[in-house]
Amino acid sequence: MMVFVSGAARSGKSEVAEACAIRLSRGGRLHYIAAAQATDEEMEARIRRHQERRAAQAAHWTVWEVPFSSQKIAASLRPDDVVLLDCLTAWLAYELFSGEHWKTEEDARAAARRLLDGVRAWAAACRAVVVVSNELFAGGVPDDLGTFRYMKTLGSLHQQLVAEAAAAAVVECGLLRVKKGRWPR
């Protein structure tokens, strides 16, 4: 089973996704795939807040941080485990923008395939995968090619994952709006 949660930055989507993953776990192990990197003080503070929030929960999370192997994660999963990916946006950025230069269109398609294959492998190996991603498209089309390629690839990933998801929702101001399926209870 796959659940997709999107929303703007600071919309509350991570909290909603964490609560969903905990509900779905029903006593199974929880895996938190942390794709963000601490590239500046603001991101360090955000990551610290996420860590503190998870530490305060009754649930125990096994945390995987980038760079990670999707195959290694899939191999470690049990049928009653739940995976939370937070977030697809950061994982794609890591895939496309790590290194000396921005990647080509072909590189972007290959990264998207790797990401989809990873999420699908997790979903096949465990009870549920909850995917969190940012909505980046309200501002229009960017002028630079790298950012445009990133947004285009992310949009394609969103559409493919939502098509495969049992439930999909958008979080706005902490409020959940279910767009597809029934939200897990």
* Inside any domain, residue 46: no
* Inside any domain, residue 54: no
* Inside any domain, residue 51: no
* Inside any domain, residue 44: no
- pLDDT reported for residue 119: 97
What's the structural domain count of the chain? 1
* Inside any domain, residue 43: no
Measured torsion, CA atoms of residues 135, 139, 140, 141, in degrees rounded to the nearest 10? -80
- Active-site residue 158, yes or no? no
- pLDDT reported for residue 101: 64
Residue 29: give the domain boundaries.
2-35+61-180
Q: How far is CA 61 from CA 47, 48, 50, 51, 55, in A?
A: 15, 15, 12, 10, 8
* Inside any domain, residue 123: yes
List the catalytic residue out of 31, 50, 101, 158: 50
* Inside any domain, residue 119: yes
pTM value?
0.90
pLDDT confidence tier of residue 67, bands split at 50, 70 and 90 = confident
CATH number of the structural domain spanning residue 82:
3.40.50.300
**What's the whole-number mean pLDDT along residues 61-72?**
89
User: pLDDT at residue 50 above 80?
Assistant: no
Tokens for 53, please give them: 């929030």
